[in-house]
Structure 1
């Protein structure tokens, strides 16, 4: 594929929209996960007493439900990504790919 076709694809509005939406979604979910995980690590590093304190007056500490909630959150974020990707991004990707294929299959006007 020559540079002219590549540039046409990169400047295509549907292709740009698809890339922007996928990027925005992935960065948003990544930031959410990083903030939660780094927050938990900071809590481990700077407030161990809270994590070691009893959750229910028994042997269960706050660290256990908080650690499990991070794992559950990661599964939930995967589900959110899958739902949005299947219902919003896939149709957009199909439209963009049709236009990309049309550009790629164009004959040179020489």
Structure 2
């Protein structure tokens, strides 16, 4: 693409809106995952006995195992949510902006 098209894209108000929406969405998902992860680490550091509690009486598996697995699943899900929205809403808007700038 030429420099002229890049300038038209940068000046398009939809491009600015796209950048803000995409950045805000990524930030929200990142904060969610990091808060959960670091919360878990803080419990490991300062109250490990809470995570060492067995799932049921007589079991050796502690409550920390499914919580840790849930955190991993949360990270996968948040990635999937971002990819789904990026591939649908963000990509279609991006394609419109580029097509309009190329005319």
Q: Please tell me the TM-score bracket, short chain as reference.
A: 0.7 to 0.9
Greater than 4 Å deviation, 4+ residue runs: none
User: How many pairs align?
Assistant: 99
Q: How far apart, CA to CA, are the structure 1 residues paired with 2:31 and 2:65?
A: 23
- 1:47 equivalent in structure 2: 47
Q: Deviations over 1:49-93 (max 9, x none)?
A: 101111122111011011100111111111111221122111111
**Unaligned 5+ runs, structure 2:** none
Q: How far apart, CA to CA, are the structure 2 residues paired with 1:9 and 1:77?
A: 29
SS at match of 2:56: coil
Root-mean-square deviation (CA, aligned residues, Å) is 1.6
Q: TM-score, normalised by structure 2?
A: 0.85
Map 1:89-100 → 2, pairs under 5 A: 89-100=90-101
**Unaligned 5+ runs, structure 1:** 103-110
- 1:105 equivalent in structure 2: none
Please report how far the alpha carbon of residue 11 of structure 1 lies from its aligned counterpart in structure 2 after TM superposition: 3.0
1:70 partnered with 2:53 = no
